[in-house]
Amino acid sequence: MFDDLRLSESPHAQNLAAPVPAGGLERGAALLTEQALGQYQRESTLAALTQTNGKVSGAGGAAELLGIKPTTLASRLQKWGIDSREFRKKRPPLSSTPHALD
């Protein structure tokens, strides 16, 4: 009865960054343990934060890239002890060279 229902047809389906093929996982595809899946999520989160320069939410933020709610990402960051501010690019210090008016 539910065999014809696909995730992509659901009105609540999200646009995921790397969707699973319509037929599901391929035969013989490597399965991830819970620990490996958690590590993969953490690494993907770190990559997203690097790519977005520490921006968590909003347009172009890490949550949008990962296809999750910003509150979910914030919870994971807190759980993992990750501070998104550490991913913000530091601006170069103001020039300390004397100006002509000095």
* 61 has a pLDDT exceeding 90: yes
Q: What average pLDDT does the segment 19-48 reach?
A: 82
Instruction: Please state, as a whole number, how many other Cβ atoms lie within 10 Å of the Cβ of residue 16.
Output: 12
d(CA 66, CA 41): 9
Domain range annotation of the chain: 33-85
* 3 has a pLDDT exceeding 60: no
Which ranges of the chain does DSSP label H, i.e. alpha helix?
34-51, 62-66, 70-80
Phi-psi region of 60 (alpha: psi -120 to 50; beta: other; left: phi over 0): left
Question: 63 in helix, strand or coil?
Answer: helix
pTM over 0.75: no
d(CA 84, CA 54): 5
